């Protein structure tokens, strides 16, 4: 199992037509936790991997997590985000992270971009905040 940091640009990234904010992601975890997520480049994700959602400014926090259901697959016709993968938001952990988000300043990776692996030094912090 691998852990991934998934960057959401909160000023223009939408989730089900709403801006991707920590509160909106929690609402989604409560009402429609399964989703298809986009990737600009293929990542070697497998079922059971965890996604940690980093919400950019004005939040600059990790405040949601999900479990990958299947490997990324190619989506035709999208030059910017040609890869997709299904994942399910973890309601309990997302609730915990909304109540106690991980500030970017608490991570060793101070400049996450796109989708990157979580550094081993950061995983304990993420798990503790998520109640895992």
* Residue 95, SS3 per DSSP: helix
What pLDDT is recorded for position 9?
Answer: 87
What pLDDT is recorded for position 92?
Answer: 98
What pLDDT is recorded for position 51?
Answer: 97
Q: Kindly give the confidence (pLDDT) of every residue in the chain, 132 residues in length, as a single tens digit, with 9 standing for 90 and above.
A: 999 999 998 877 666 677 889 999 999 999 999 999 999 888 899 999 999 999 998 999 999 999 999 999 999 888 888 999 999 999 999 999 999 999 999 999 888 888 999 999 899 999 999 999
Both tokens of 47, joined, read: 């079922």
Contact 93, 105 (CB under 8 A): no
CA distance 86 to 81: 14
What pLDDT is recorded for position 18?
Answer: 74
What pLDDT is recorded for position 15?
Answer: 63
pTM score: 0.93
* CB count in 10 Å sphere of residue 131: 13
Q: Provide CB contacts within 8 A for 84, sequence distance 6+.
A: 36, 37, 38, 39, 72, 73, 74, 75
**Distances 31 to 2, 17, 25, 107 between C-alpha atoms, Å:** 26, 14, 10, 30
């Amino acid at each position: 199992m691998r852990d991934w940091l998934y960057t959401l640009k909160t000023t223009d990234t939408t989730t089900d037509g709403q801006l991707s904010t920590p509160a909106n992601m929690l609402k989604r975890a409560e009402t429609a936790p399964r989703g298809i997520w986009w990737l600009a480049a293929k990542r070697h994700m497998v079922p059971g991997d965890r996604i940690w959602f980093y919400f950019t400014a004005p939040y600059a926090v990790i405040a949601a997590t999900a479990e990958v259901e299947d490997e990324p697959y190619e989506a035709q016709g999208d030059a910017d985000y040609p890869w997709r993968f299904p994942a399910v938001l973890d309601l309990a952990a997302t609730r915990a992270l909304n109540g106690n988000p991980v500030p970017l300043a608490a991570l060793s990776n101070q400049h996450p971009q796109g989708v990157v692996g979580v550094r081993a030094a950061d995983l304990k912090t993420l798990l503790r905040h998520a109640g895992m």
